[in-house]
Amino acid sequence: MPLKGAIIGFGNIAVNGHLPGYRSCGHMTISAVMDVMPETAEKVREILPDAAFFSDIDDLLRNTDIDFVDIATPPGTHAQNIIKALEHGRHVMCEKPLVLKREDFIRIADMGNRHNRVVYTVHNWRYAPIYQEASRLLSQGVIGRVRHIDYQVIRTRPSVTAGETGVEDNWRVDPELAGGGILVDHGWHAFYMVNQWMGSSPVWVECRLENRKFKDIPIEDTAEAVIGYQDAEVRLFFTWSGDSRSNTVLITGENGTISIDDDTISVNNGHDHQDIPFEQALSQGSHHPEWYAGVIADFLNEMTDLSCAGRNLYEAGWCQIMMERCVESSRDRHRKNLTHPGIRHEH
């Protein structure tokens, strides 16, 4: 019998990203939805006619027999919703960033362990076909040990949110809801990818946050960071101030380079040059529903195979502390050391 779940927050990412992933899975089903906007009930009836609708998470958790919750609300609400779900004995999948504060991460990790429940963050960029190919090439050693990564994301504005009429009423520019600007929006994805490609833990970070285009919003529109590893370095650049959308990554190894330019990988290792085109560019849209099949399958695997449980949460711990230290580095204008915020994963 499929595991039953509830979506908390029925906005664009839930409808256009998460739901296609569940429909492709076959072993999980969404039987309830909670959203604070009462008018969302009509949309739920149209898209999920058999799902119950709630406008309060406590009512949902008390009055359903679901196995898990899928949290797709703004980041500032994540911690409180995760804690409530764990208190009611539900597994949790949550959009990135999992939480904004180290103390919330530690509390949630401890609760998940005590209640024997999975806490899982949506790391959907890992399942982008072009990133999967880059990871495969690196695992085969085609450019040797990675020594440097340049990772760049350029956008023209914050991602559109449901119901907005302009940037000024987009929740992504509200620090209480969003928890930050472009760093929160794109940094988390970059952190788990570069940590995977480096194959080691980060040691320190330096960061600068600023406003280049949207001068009147209370969060940054541009972030630059340098992450140090034992014998390698990553440079990150994210902005909402660009003239066009693009994603580029240059991975430099001991024996060559792997370059990702939106929809093409180029491999140069001294022996040959290879260009590998992909159907969809990384900068095309913001939902990428085809990536969520892998996310949902991995979440299911953690819930049903104890040997896998905790892998994603350990990875999310690094992302959380890297994001937090970036903010501190920009504020204090100096380098910050990095240590994992408190859990181990041995598998």
Q: How far apart are CA 198 and CA 139, in angstroms?
A: 11
Omega within 30 of 0 (cis) for the link into 129: no
User: Tokens 């911690």 appear where?
Assistant: 79
- What pLDDT sits at residue 283? 87
Contact status, residue 32 vs residue 54, Cβ threshold 8 Å: yes
> Residue 173 corresponds to which tokens in the numbers above?
């520019």
CATH node for 3-124+294-308: 3.40.50.720
Q: Which CATH class is domain 133-284+316-337?
A: alpha beta
- What pLDDT sits at residue 346? 44
Q: At what angle do helices 188-198 and 311-332 cross, to 10 degrees?
A: 110
| Regions of the chain with pLDDT less than 50 | 346-347
| Beta strands 264-268 and 256-261, pairing class | antiparallel
**Length of the chain measured in residues:** 347
User: Tokens 């240059």 appear where?
Assistant: 250
User: Tokens 């949550």 appear where?
Assistant: 94
Interval 11-42: pLDDT, tens: 999 999 999 999 988 899 999 999 999 899 99
- What pLDDT sits at residue 271? 81
Q: If you write DSSP's letter for every residue of 138-195 in order, what string do you get? A: HHTTTT-SEEEEEEEEE-SSSPP-TT-SSGGG-GGG-HHHHSSSHIIIIIHHHHHHHH
3-class DSSP state of 247? strand
The domain ranges of the chain are 3-124+294-308, 133-284+316-337
Q: How far apart are CA 236 and CA 225, in angstroms?
A: 5
Q: How far apart are CA 181 and CA 167, in angstroms?
A: 12
User: Global pTM?
Assistant: 0.94
Q: How far apart are CA 129 and CA 152, in angstroms?
A: 18
Contact status, residue 146 vs residue 252, Cβ threshold 8 Å: yes
Contact status, residue 22 vs residue 85, Cβ threshold 8 Å: no
Question: How many CB atoms are closer than 10 A to CB 302?
Answer: 20
- What pLDDT sits at residue 113? 93
